[in-house]
Amino acid sequence: MPTQTFFNLPEEKRERITEAAMSEFSAYPFAQASIARIIEQAGIPRGSFYQYFKNLKDLYKYIFNLAVEKKLQYFEDRIPNLHGEGFDFFQILHRLFMVGIEFAQEHPELLALGDRFIKDNNQKLREEVLAEQNPKSLDFYGEMLRKGYELGQLDPTTDFTAALLMMQALNKALLDAYLTLSQNSQGSILEDSRYLDLIDKFLYLFAHGLEKRVVSNE
């Protein structure tokens, strides 16, 4: 994480540095990222960089922390019944995926950052970043699950941990689908019937599973 010196900087300067770093990490895998390009774009001396961050990895992990926090706050702002009255687990989950795409379209630089991260072959760094950031998304999904169970909207015999991991995997699967479809989409992916249909089908499988249902003749 950055030093206190960084947080003491004027907001405009902090934003200039983080925007330069976001641009760099979105364009290059970590092994090819350059402090020189970041400081040139941010307009700061090289010596100042090391007053703010231990090294390039320190900055990289900070940028990911900002990205995750920004996305979670986006969810909070755009899903008013996420915590309050009127909570419906599957309606909220559906809305969550739609809002996630809205976020991606409004913040293409963060989408590019995540895509670059997924494709990066630096396994050790990936594990470090995920170890820091995964608990945030798991807490977010976990709170939804707990509320669903408490309100009797979910089968109490199902395993909480398994459901939690499935929600996280479902989110990644839809992100991958978004990246694939958006490359060939002529307009907004939110207007693409293929993607909207995929969300419905994924959620149906999540809610009902793959087991064949026996129809009673009685």
Q: 80-101 pLDDT, tens per residue?
A: 888 777 899 999 999 988 888 8
Mean pLDDT over the full length of the chain:
87
pLDDT of residue 73: 92
Structural domain boundaries in the chain:
64-208
Q: Which CATH class is domain 64-208?
A: mainly alpha
- Pull the structure tokens for residue 177: 């689908």
Q: 5-22 pLDDT, tens per residue?
A: 999 999 999 999 999 999
pLDDT of residue 176: 75
Residues in CB range of 207: below 8 A, 6 or more apart: 90
- Terminal-residue alpha carbon distance, the chain: 64
What predicted TM-score, i.e. pTM, was given to this entire model?
0.83
For residue 192, name the pLDDT band (cuts at 50, 70, 90).
low
Given a cut of 60, whether residue 113 has pLDDT beyond it is yes
* Cα-based distances in Å from 13 to 8, 44, 128: 10, 9, 27
pLDDT of residue 108: 86
